[in-house]
Amino acid sequence: MFSENLFQTIGQIAILLVISLIIILIASLILGIILLKRNMLIFPKLVLFALDFLYSPLKKLSKALGFDDVMVDHIGVEIRNQINEKKFKDIDNKKKILVFPHCLRDPNCEATLNETGLVCTHCGKCTIGVIKPKAEEIGYKVFIFPGSTFVNKIVKENDFDSVIGIACYEDLNKSMMKLSNFNPQGILLSRAGCFKTAVDIKTVLDKIGYCNTINDKKIEIVNSCSKDEYKLKD
């Protein structure tokens, strides 16, 4: 009799836990959608905890409900950007790193590979060659990763307090999750994929604070920060 009651109690607890989990999953998605649609941040740390801890179930639930399969990653990136934005801006640029994915390279890229990643020659054929010298001009360390294994290496061998990453939704969210102690900021690729991807140059320059820093230092620049487009070399 006692054992029957025990198993019944355990079964009821299990059902309650499953129901609670489903409620948390749905609530997290709803709050995340509100953020994306209305730019309203509601219980951000709670939602972020749910997104990280229940990442796989949330991805499956999102897909089952007919949403885009990267919506969970999109929500994660946006919440992290907003939560970390103030701390990120308060950190000196010399304590920040900017990370590019190798897929942004031009097909005829002449960059060489060393222990820190790809070494850009600033040929100007891709967005990396345009943005990298500007980021370095205002104090950033810049890295181009040919693979995820370089992330741990850079973290171990460099002293920094914040990081900006450029990637697709899923890679960006997972990287920001891994580097959560470094006040990460993320910039999404405007064209994703594994080859000949793209990112908006002005968006990156705005995010790293290039124009504000240049204006404060009164440095003369070739490209106007008010321009909406930056041309690459043919």
**pLDDT band at 228; cut points 50, 70, 90:** very low
Q: Tokens 């009164």 — which residue? A: 218
- Residues 212, 101, single domain; the answer is yes
For residue 219, what pLDDT is reported?
A: 45
> To the nearest 5 percent, what fractions of the chain are helix, strand and coil?
55, 10, 30
Give pLDDT tens digits for 151-197.
Answer: 777 778 888 999 999 998 888 998 898 898 999 999 999 888 777 88
Q: Which residues of 154-165 are buried (b: 16+ CB within 10 A; e: fewer)?
A: beeeeebbbbbb
**37: domain range?**
2-69
Measured CA to CA, the distance from residue 40 to residue 14 in angstroms comes to 34
Over range 82-101, report the average pLDDT.
Answer: 93
Looking at the 3D structure of the chain, how many domains does it have?
2
- Residues 65, 96, single domain; the answer is no
0.85 exceeded by pTM: no
84 part of a folded domain:
no
Give pLDDT tens digits for 26-41.
Answer: 777 777 777 777 777 7
Measured CA to CA, the distance from residue 70 to residue 195 in angstroms comes to 19
Task: List C-alpha distances in Å: 118 to 45, 53, 122, 178.
Answer: 35, 33, 12, 22
Which residues, listed in sequence order, are joined to residue 100 by a DSSP beta bridge?
Answer: 144
- The sign one gets for the Cα dihedral 136, 140, 141, 147 is negative
For residue 122, what pLDDT is reported?
A: 81
Q: Which residue has the higher pLDDT, 227 or 50?
A: 50
- Residues 173, 204, single domain; the answer is yes
